[in-house]
Amino acid sequence: MAYRLGDLAEQVGAELRGDADCEVVRVSQLQNALPGAISFLANSRYLKHLADTRASAVIISPELAQESPVAVLVSDNPYLCYARVADILHPTALFKAGIHPTSVIAEDANIADDVCIGPCSVIEAGSWIGQRVYIGPGCVVGAGSRIGRESRLVANVTLCTRSNIGERVLIHPGAVIGSDGFGLANDRGKWIKVPQLGGVTIGNDVEIGANTTIDCGTINDTIIADGVKLDNQIQIAHNVEIGENTAIAGCAGIAGSTRVGKNCTIGGGVGLAGHLEIGDDIHFSGQSLVTRSFTEPGHYSGNLPAVATGEWRKTVARIRRMNDMMQRLKALEKRVEALDTEHKPD
Amino acid sequence: MAYRLGDLAEQVGAELRGDADCEVVRVSQLQNALPGAISFLANSRYLKHLADTRASAVIISPELAQESPVAVLVSDNPYLCYARVADILHPTALFKAGIHPTSVIAEDANIADDVCIGPCSVIEAGSWIGQRVYIGPGCVVGAGSRIGRESRLVANVTLCTRSNIGERVLIHPGAVIGSDGFGLANDRGKWIKVPQLGGVTIGNDVEIGANTTIDCGTINDTIIADGVKLDNQIQIAHNVEIGENTAIAGCAGIAGSTRVGKNCTIGGGVGLAGHLEIGDDIHFSGQSLVTRSFTEPGHYSGNLPAVATGEWRKTVARIRRMNDMMQRLKALEKRVEALDTEHKPD
Amino acid sequence: MAYRLGDLAEQVGAELRGDADCEVVRVSQLQNALPGAISFLANSRYLKHLADTRASAVIISPELAQESPVAVLVSDNPYLCYARVADILHPTALFKAGIHPTSVIAEDANIADDVCIGPCSVIEAGSWIGQRVYIGPGCVVGAGSRIGRESRLVANVTLCTRSNIGERVLIHPGAVIGSDGFGLANDRGKWIKVPQLGGVTIGNDVEIGANTTIDCGTINDTIIADGVKLDNQIQIAHNVEIGENTAIAGCAGIAGSTRVGKNCTIGGGVGLAGHLEIGDDIHFSGQSLVTRSFTEPGHYSGNLPAVATGEWRKTVARIRRMNDMMQRLKALEKRVEALDTEHKPD
């Protein structure tokens, strides 16, 4: 559907500089946009594509607005403005309510009238499913689970028993919520399973990526607060708690009972040890290993970027020989001390 | 169901100090227990919650027993004792045997009478499924697989062809057993697939976490011995062998043909290169990279914990300039040598 | 089926030294082969097993051929030659075309006559499925997806909408193709989802491992070129592009918009940051972290191999005190300079 730039600007609260009657029908990247498209510039590395863009309009910051050869929607946060424009031009398709005949629904499941349950999905006993929930094909909703209104399980999602999902939660394929925590007691060399009796509580407006796993708690629940965003392939262990609006990138792992505060960002592949307390507004860069609690807001790192292997081998050898280096430094200090002393009386 | 403390103590072999007739009905954490709950203290970081606990009883070590304000079950291994108590108070629900009509069972599959096969599960040709096996919804049991008695596939588990699962094995959702190993031969730049003809053999009493993957062997089997415990999101490559009672934490990866001994622990996110021999009783701390064989029992590490990013940047710069540092140290040694020599004759 | 060595040698283009009429029926490892088996020696660490092998024949390099106690197929690339022999002796079972009655196929899906669609699989609206495609049990093929001829989805694979899969592509269980990218704009502390409107384009002869995830692009497609091989548990973020014949080992992760060239190899657990340009013929060793672009062909590393924990702790302490070491070195340099100056006039 076509939108007038003037209408779009008004809807998203941006300042339009250009022809309000110009119409756009889609979003595009700067470098391959065609007329009829609206693009955006939110990362200076793509500035080089601005001059030649064929887009009908560009969403841009005030500082760069006058460099655009075409109409602009000016916004202090062009990426956010773009997200809103994209939502208007390409709205999520509405689904048709209905329960597919190949799905298997427990008799005592409590299911709102206007949900969609796709083929080959299984809703176990005692589940509660709110209004406008979408459950795609191949999903399993374990006994006693609860899914708040307008949440969406895309496909092949598994909720184990006692999963409590908030409203407007989006869960991508292959995600597993509420699997047993890794609780083991050692009995003279053999591992004895510690029963995992808790559940998982997921707040509202949470997004959970493909193949991400969130274990149930041992006694109490694992808790993911409102607005948390989890990328793909993340592992959240039992009794972890994640505070509001914290975002975690792919392949990160958080060990048991660690609590992460609000508004944190955790980079890809980061590992957090168990039983830590991470405060609010804390940011870990990619592949860092976190072995102690941090309460001071700020950025933390512990990763070594790759360099040419030859150079790296020398570095590793040097690191291995740091003790030797320190010994030689100390010896030299003593010797210079001695020299100095001898020298002084001269 | 309510249990007398006296009976519980006897069943789990703990010493009761307190009222044998006091009844408990559930387990709880120290800090939020209510009367009727039994709690435990196995990690000294939770000692602070002991004095104020409202639990009816606490499972505790002999050293700390007299600090408890309530009845205690004294055990040298309180966590193990807790696991047993939790099992008694909250036993795993028995399942009702039966094959759901929406499951698809190959005609020649050999299935014991008292199994449960859930909805939308598929059992392929030539499978053998033992007594009291539970196969939850959405599982696939590939052709020629074998599942020993009392094993449990929770939901959406995939066993590929030639998976041989022992007894009392617990496999969590999304786990994939027996997928092709990553075997590639290079033909002038193009990768040619090496047929993956082996299977996977899993021993008894193994637990396999959510979304963990275990590849089949190239010719012979990949082998997971009795009592091995695997957390979520672990990758086990073709022809790996894991010895008895080894426990591996989430997100670890083991490359092809590596053999790990008995009673090892491998921390979260650890990576083991291929073709290594790791002996018994070896422990790798989280996120370590293992590039050579280790046979000596002990603890091994190679990870750098995160610190404030500003501090870290300086450290990385210093590491990069270690060669320079070494050169300067050597120059200084020569110079001091020279000074010394000149000085001596004075 | 039995093959004459003479025929095998001819079919795979290897030089036979030995009895052309000797027959083999299977492949085996050197160390546990029985007569009737053909084995191979491609890695010198297994040379020790050659002298005692009971295999009927061994595939081997020219340099080692005369050390074999049995007939040899001589090849400059024994592993490749083995792959071809294994393919001949153990061909992939042909499937019987047909659509299982428990699968759910959208009316407007365009499906070739000779495909196989297994039980409990779901093919959504507007899909196009080419000749001799095999879709195993429990798969979901999202709306508007396209699967080229002779591709194979093993089981429980999820293709989201707009997944475009080439020919002869092999996708293992639990893989998720086309899930939403992790695109978030921040609105005064809250994360707003950026619509993920692109698709995924996978070339021909690609292999995708178990539980690997490939996100769709934000506007344009995420692209995996012909001949790319991806191991298990890999995360490929939105708008990543991977060039021809690049192979990536398990647990690696590539962040958004990074482009990797042709003929690269990426080791297990490697992490690539977003928006990078990695050229052709670039190789990253396992668990490296890549934070900048590399264009020069070669090998790059940044990982620290594990050592005994006691030794490691000292090393970490030294690394932490490198600033101190540098200060002491500088102080010493000054002092020696001073000594030298004082000394000279003597």
DSSP string across A239-298? T-EE-TT-EE-TT-EE-TT-EE-TT-EE-TT-EE-TT-EE-SSEEE-TT-EE-S-B-S-E
Instruction: Give the span between the Cα atoms of A33 and A29, in whole angstroms.
Output: 6
Instruction: Give the span between the Cα atoms of C322 and B318, in whole angstroms.
Output: 7
CA dihedral A167, A172, A178, A182 (to 10 degrees): -140
Q: List Cα–Cα distances, A114 to A57, A119, A229, in angstroms.
A: 39, 16, 26
Instruction: Give the span between the Cα atoms of C186 and C104, in whole angstroms.
Output: 40
Q: Which residues of C touch A309 (CB under 8 A)?
A: 285, 298-301
- Any idea what the Cα angle at residue B223 is, between residues B222 and B225, rounded to 5°? 165
| B259 Cβ neighbours under 8 A, 6+ residues apart | B240, B241, B243, B276, B277, B278
What φ, ψ does residue C164 adopt, rounded to 5°? -115, 105
As to burial, measured by CB atoms within 10 angstroms (0-12 exposed, 13-18 middle, 19+ buried), residue B309 is middle
What is the average per-residue pLDDT within C308-335? 88
pLDDT of residue B323: 80
Taking the alpha carbons of A53, A54, A59, A63 in that order, is the dihedral positive or negative? positive
Number of domains present in the structure of chain A: 3
Check whether residue B271 and residue B139 sit in a common domain: yes
Q: Which residues of B touch A302 (CB under 8 A)?
A: 304-307, 312
| A20 Cβ neighbours under 8 A, 6+ residues apart | A4, A5, A6, A9
Residue B135's Cβ-side half-sphere holds a number of Cα atoms within 13 Å equal to 35
Check whether residue B257 and residue B146 sit in a common domain: yes
Instruction: Give the span between the Cα atoms of B274 and A121, in whole angstroms.
Output: 39
Q: How close, in Å, is residue A211 to chain B by CA atoms?
A: 7
Q: How close, in Å, is residue C176 to chain A by CA atoms?
A: 7
Decide: B245 and B263 in contact? Cβ < 8 Å: yes
In C, residues 231-250, which contact B (CB 8 Å cutoff)?
231-233, 245, 247, 249-250
Q: In the β-sheet with C229-230, what is the strand arrangement from edge to edge?
A: A307-308, C298-301, C282-284, C265-266, C247-248, C229-230, C207-208, C170-171, C152-153, C134-135, C116-117, C98-99
Low-confidence ranges of chain A (pLDDT < 50): 346
Check whether residue A121 and residue A247 sit in a common domain: yes
Please report, as a single letter, which amino acid is at residue A204: N
Q: Is B101 on the interface with C (CB under 8 A)?
A: no
Low-confidence ranges of chain B (pLDDT < 70): 343-346
Contact between chains at B308 and A298 (C-beta distance less than 8 A): yes
What φ, ψ does residue C155 adopt, rounded to 5°? -175, 150
What φ, ψ does residue A11 adopt, rounded to 5°? -65, -35
Give, as one character, the DSSP assignment of residue B126.
T
Q: How close, in Å, is residue C40 to chain A by CA atoms?
A: 31
- For residue C345, pLDDT beyond 70: no
Instruction: Give the span between the Cα atoms of A336 and A10, in whole angstroms.
Output: 75
B305 SS3 class: strand
Q: C271: domain CATH number? A: 2.160.10.10
Distance, CA of B118 to chain centre: 26
Residues of B labelled catalytic:
238
Of C294, C259, C302, C264, the residue nearest C282 (C-alpha): C264
- Take residue C281 and report the two structure tokens written for it: 């013929």
pLDDT of residue C343: 64
Which residue, of A58, A89, A120, is where some domain finishes? A89
Q: Which residues of A touch C299 (CB under 8 A)?
A: 308-310
Check whether residue A74 and residue A163 sit in a common domain: no
Best of A29, A32, A156 to substitute, by most chain C Cβ atoms within 10 angstroms, is A156
Provide the domain limits for residue C39: 3-89
Check whether residue C38 and residue C169 sit in a common domain: no
Check whether residue A50 and residue A111 sit in a common domain: no
Please report, as a single letter, which amino acid is at residue A129: I
Decide: C215 and C194 in contact? Cβ < 8 Å: no
Check whether residue B147 and residue B212 sit in a common domain: yes
B4 SS3 class: strand
Closest C-chain CA to B282:
C308
Q: How close, in Å, is residue B217 to chain A by CA atoms?
A: 24
What φ, ψ does residue C329 adopt, rounded to 5°? -65, -45
Q: How close, in Å, is residue B108 to chain C by CA atoms?
A: 16
The mean predicted confidence, pLDDT, of chain C is 95
Decide: C140 and A173 in contact? Cβ < 8 Å: yes
Check whether residue C49 and residue C129 sit in a common domain: no
pLDDT of residue A49: 95
Decide: B176 and B195 in contact? Cβ < 8 Å: no
Nearest to C288 among A86, A306, A323 (CB): A306
Please count the helices (runs of H) and the strands (runs of E) in chain C.
4, 40
Nearest to B189 among C87, C245, C346 (CB): C245
Instruction: Give the span between the Cα atoms of A112 and C239, in whole angstroms.
Output: 37
| pLDDT tens-digit map of C168-197 | 999 999 999 999 999 999 999 999 999 999
Q: Is A332 on the interface with C (CB under 8 A)?
A: yes
pLDDT of residue C323: 80
Nearest to B307 among A192, A213, A302 (CB): A302
Q: Which residues of B touch A305 (CB under 8 A)?
A: 316
Of A179, A168, A174, the residue nearest A207 (C-alpha): A168
Beta bridge partners of A294: A278
- For residue C154, pLDDT beyond 60: yes
| A256 Cβ neighbours under 8 A, 6+ residues apart | A181, A182, A183, A218, A237, A238, A239, A240, A274, A275
| C201 Cβ neighbours under 8 A, 6+ residues apart | C164, C221, C222, C223, C224
- Take residue A248 and report the two structure tokens written for it: 């975690």
Q: Which residues of B touch A190 (CB under 8 A)?
A: 227, 245
Strand ranges in B220-321 using DSSP code E only, listed in sequence order: 222-224, 229-230, 235-236, 241-242, 247-248, 253-254, 259-260, 265-266, 271-272, 277-278, 282-284, 289-290, 298-301, 307-308
pLDDT of residue B344: 62
| A93 Cβ neighbours under 8 A, 6+ residues apart | none
The terminus-to-terminus CA distance of chain C in angstroms comes to: 94
Distance, CA of A138 to chain centre: 24
Strands B170-171 and B152-153: parallel
Check whether residue C103 and residue C161 sit in a common domain: yes
Which residue, of A57, A89, A121, is where some domain finishes? A89
- For residue C344, pLDDT beyond 70: no
**H helices present in B163-308, as ranges:** none
Q: Which residues of A touch C179 (CB under 8 A)?
A: 154, 172-173, 209-210, 232
| pLDDT tens-digit map of C3-52 | 999 999 999 999 999 999 999 999 999 999 999 999 999 988 899 999 99
Q: List Cα–Cα distances, A199 to A87, B128, B211, C248, C284, in angstroms.
A: 34, 33, 18, 36, 40
Instruction: Give the span between the Cα atoms of B273 and B266, in whole angstroms.
Output: 13
Q: Is C179 on the interface with A (CB under 8 A)?
A: yes
- Any idea what the Cα angle at residue C247 is, between residues C59 and C298, rounded to 5°? 95
What is the average per-residue pLDDT within C203-228? 98
Check whether residue C76 and residue C112 sit in a common domain: no
Q: Which of C49, C90, C100, C238 is catalytic?
A: C238
Decide: A249 and A266 in contact? Cβ < 8 Å: yes
How many residue pairs from chains A and B have C-beta atoms closer than 8 A? 225
* % of chain C residues with pLDDT over 70: 99
How many residue pairs from chains B and C have C-beta atoms closer than 8 A? 224
Q: C17: domain CATH number? A: 3.40.1390.10
Contact between chains at B328 and C323 (C-beta distance less than 8 A): no
Decide: C116 and C96 in contact? Cβ < 8 Å: yes
Closest B-chain CA to C138:
B138
Check whether residue B264 and residue B323 sit in a common domain: no
Q: Is C275 a catalytic residue?
A: no
pLDDT of residue B59: 97
Of A112, A149, A142, the residue nearest A127 (C-alpha): A142
* Interface predicted TM-score (ipTM): 0.95
3-state secondary structure C102-146: CCEECCCCEECCCCEECCCCEECCCCEECCCCEECCCCEECCCCE
- Take residue A263 and report the two structure tokens written for it: 């508004």
Of B148, B169, B150, B140, the residue nearest B94 (C-alpha): B150
Over its C-alpha atoms, chain C yields an Rg (Å, rounded) of 27
Q: Is B339 on the interface with C (CB under 8 A)?
A: yes
Contact between chains at A210 and C284 (C-beta distance less than 8 A): no
Helix axes B5-12, B78-89, angle to 10 degrees: 120
Q: Which residues of A touch C187 (CB under 8 A)?
A: 77, 80
Q: Is C302 on the interface with A (CB under 8 A)?
A: yes
| A153 Cβ neighbours under 8 A, 6+ residues apart | A133, A134, A135, A136, A139, A141, A147, A159, A171
Nearest to B227 among A191, A292, A298 (CB): A191
Q: How close, in Å, is residue B187 to chain C by CA atoms?
A: 7
Q: List Cα–Cα distances, A214 to A170, A217, A234, B170, in angstroms.
A: 14, 9, 8, 17
Q: Is B120 on the interface with A (CB under 8 A)?
A: yes
Q: How close, in Å, is residue A134 to chain B by CA atoms?
A: 18
Please report, as a single letter, which amino acid is at residue B266: I
Check whether residue C40 and residue C116 sit in a common domain: no
Contact between chains at A286 and C271 (C-beta distance less than 8 A): yes
Residues of A labelled catalytic:
238
Best of A117, A182, A251, A342 to substitute, by most chain B Cβ atoms within 10 angstroms, is A182
Q: Is A331 on the interface with C (CB under 8 A)?
A: no
Nearest to A315 among B45, B319, B332 (CB): B319
